Amino acid sequence: MSRLEGRVVAIAGAAGGLGPTVASVLAQEGTRLALTDVDQGRLDEVAGRLALPSDQVDARAVDLLDENAARAWAAALTERFGGVDALAHLVGGWRGGQPLDRAPLADWAWLHDLLVRTVQHTSRAFCAALKASGNGRFVLVSAAAAQRPTSTNAAYAAAKAAAEAWTLALADELAGTGATANILAVNAILTPQMRAENPDKEFASFTPAEHIAEAIAFVLSDAAAKMNGKRLALHP
């Protein structure tokens, strides 16, 4: 039996650059997977490639900017699977590149919704289920920029820092319940598609998606039961 056999893991951002690799690794660990993103077609493609029996995978588009929709998703998964043991929050996106005094504040508004609001909504929606699990896990994939902000990356760094602070507050809420919340930080993600398109490029500061997926599997496992409120750096 694998270390995550039979556990129900929800993946927010499952159809993004990192999501398919994480879903594949967790499927190999014997999990039942609940996948969401904004595009049902892309979700169906991810679920199809997993080749899991229908009773082991749930793929549905959810607007995580709508808290009621996030709560409805959590409730539907609890009804279908009898509970949810973990949530991997992979929702990501980037805007930046201009100096702080010239960057449009509209970038901040967009990044705040994408990187902070979705964390707030999913954590609130799944908090009770994670506590009830007995070994519930919340893991956020974040960025080194949260602790290394630059002038040309201010909005992104600030949004990531806020998401991390919220996750650490969730860790405090979960303390003593057997559930945990932790952060995995990277500089940038090297996806299989990027590697295939640029086979000769080194990507020295990037973390391979496969390595992140393996780290997520570890954090979700019993071996990481004593880790709560930790920030693990998966970058140079």
Using an 8 Å Cβ cutoff, are 227 and 178 in contact? no
Residue 180 half-sphere exposure toward CB, CA atoms < 13 A = 19
Structure confidence at residue 189 (pLDDT): 95
CA angle 179, 235, 201 (to 5 degrees): 135
Cα separation of 188 and 22, whole Å? 15
Share of the chain above pLDDT 90, in %: 95
Name the 3-class secondary structure at 40: helix
Token duo for residue 143: 């960025």
Mean pLDDT computed over 127-136: 97
User: 């500089």: which residue's tokens?
Assistant: 187
Backbone angles phi, psi at 150, to 5 degrees: -125, 165
Using an 8 Å Cβ cutoff, are 35 and 23 in contact? yes
Share of the chain above pLDDT 70, in %: 100
pLDDT over 90 at 119, yes or no: yes
Cα separation of 84 and 11, whole Å? 11
Is the Cα dihedral 10, 12, 15, 17 positive or negative?
negative
Cα separation of 99 and 198, whole Å? 29
Q: Which amino acid is at 118?
A: T
Using an 8 Å Cβ cutoff, are 36 and 11 in contact? yes
pLDDT over 90 at 200, yes or no: no
pLDDT tens per residue across span 5-34: 999 999 999 999 999 999 999 999 999 999
pLDDT over 90 at 36, yes or no: yes
pLDDT tens per residue across span 52-95: 999 999 999 999 999 999 999 999 999 999 999 999 999 999 99
